[in-house]
Structure 1
Amino acid sequence: MTTAPCSDLLHMDDATRLRIGGAWTLANYNRLQQQIDALQRPLAANQTVDVQALTALDTAGAALLVRLLGADRIQQLIAAEDQLPAARRALLHTVSNALAASVPSPQPARASSVMQLLAELGALVATFGRALLALLGFIGLILETLARTLLQPSRWRVTALVAQMQQTGLNAAPIVALLTFLVGAVVAFLGATVLSRFGASIYTVMLVAFSFLREFGVLLTAILLAGRTASAFTAQIGSMKANEEIDAIRTLGLNPIELLVLPRVLALLITLPLLTFIAMLAGIFGGALVCALSLDISPTLFLSILQDTPAKHFWVGMAKAPLFAVLIAAIGCLEGFKVSGSAASVGAHTTSSVVQSIFVVILVDAGAALFCMEMGW
């Protein structure tokens, strides 16, 4: 039969002695735990521990002893050779070290919500700064590659350039024209609704002309291509990166920037101004249609008023198109090169390229509007 554990608390001569005896094993674990819970803990400094009556000890019992006596008392028992045999002292030493190593470290004080908000804001600013530096470096790499290949006609990728022009320009023309036509009609409706209250419906023509020549024509086209073309560039180059085709291109001694990026950048650089011009015409035509149907402004009168619009508004809008084209193409290609090699990475970077392109286009357009306003253009 298993020896019952003994754990008595005796008071002798104003001193307290804790006597531990019996079998401290897994078979008596529940009974031992109940007796330990009944003891007054922690033990006082003047209490002594007597383990002479201890008959058996295993890992479970050693863990209970460490829990009962604490690390300091256990170290005293290990050091006292007359209290325990060497095997039990070694077991207590191992269990004590293992329990001390498994104690979870205290959790750091949780920062306040304000500090967390500032930390997240700082991380966002740092991420934006790194992305901006990467984009500027990539644009510099594109310009350097372009400068090296311009003087070597044998290295021009004319076939790839024409194919990209068809995909980014010709195929996008219908949707650009339709979108800007509808927006032009909406702007004309708004102008007719607001200006008619002041008897100035005739100025709806100027509103449509100014808005599409300066802002809406190039901005809507750039946003549309940011969602359509930048995502296509990222998906195409990202798929090649995932399939290790770009590594194969480098192995063949070819430059991926010259082979993949330059045709796309140049194609968008050519097609975006053309699409912007189409968007301006379509938007103005949509406004003219609304003016003819709702305001009784004939197309002849509309064109005569349109001729009084200063040409600088047209050139301000067209000047933004090449800048937007370079930014959209560079962001789309750069995100494609960032793909790590999985389908999930391709999707994530495709989404990122669209968001970044639209954000950069709107940001640059706002800056250009402020600059032109200060310059009086």
Structure 2
Amino acid sequence: MRARKGRGAVSNASGRFEPCARVAVDDGWPADDDAPPPRIATEVTMETVRTVISHNASPDLPFDRSINPYRGCEHGCVYCYARPSHAYLGLSPGLDFESRLFAKPGASEALARELSKPGYRVRPIMVGANTDPYQPIEGRLEVTRGILRVLDAFSHPVMITTKSDRIVRDLDLLGAMARRGLVSVAISLTTLGPTLARTLEPRAPTPSKRLTAIERLSAAGVPLVVLAAPMIPCVNDHELERILKAARDAGAVGAGYAMLRLPLELKDIFTEWLDAHVPGKTRHVLSLLRQSRKGALYDPSFATRMRGAGPHADLLAQRFAVSCRRLGLSRGMPTVAALRGDLFAVPPRKGDQLSLF
């Protein structure tokens, strides 16, 4: 199978819940091997939501609640751990994940209702835990911006993860929230090489644009963390130190990293990508991943799923720690305690009775 221009996944295999599977076969008819695969248009479906805050109890995550403005992601990052979630929609974690998207245009209204409930308890909300809140369709739908407006109005702490420079559009909100200690941002930077980026994450902004976004956010006083993630053995892990230095020089004050995770259908999707783009490395890359995942391509254990275990994973962890010390970067995402929750207040609504005191 051949890769499509502008898409990360090579195929569109059925998800694990589908009763029938799509399998490509040679039917014996002559094929034009030089013809590029047909382009796939992006489709966006609008979802009606009653609630938008999702909760988790994972010990690996520095937050217990999150909001995802979109399902699926047009950035098309082939390594995205969120791809298998598209199977719950009856769609493929392959090309469907990056071309058949779902947006939540009523998310801001639903969020305001949830935050206004009498029993609500404040904890920082992560925006973009699963798919990127600043993917291309955000430019016209502005679902993420609507969510930030609500969080700003309620003085609610928020953490944002993205790999898009589109986030600088919201500097007016982010700068004001940063001055009150309400926001931190993590920018994902997988590689500094534009050629590798075009195949790994074909519709994401270039590495240079992300570094510029770090500069602009940092200049506005927004606390910035760079995420060198995922680190892929023999593909981009040799860039770890250069990524951290470039981000520090641009204004990042902290850093995190993660080793590539390949849950469920992602194993086959990523293997197809290796065969299509770096075929000479396929066996070696997968071998090093197995050595770091207890002999399997994926180990879901909480203690090691983000970093892996074994000689290769341990060396990567040591390199990260040494680089952070040398560059003066704090390690990991900002802690929940770093953001203020004491400013939270439900804003008055039109028609509310005013207090006498």
TM class by smaller structure: under 0.3
- Structure 1 or 2: more strand by fraction: 2
- TM-score (structure 2 length as normaliser): 0.19
- TM-score (structure 1 length as normaliser): 0.18
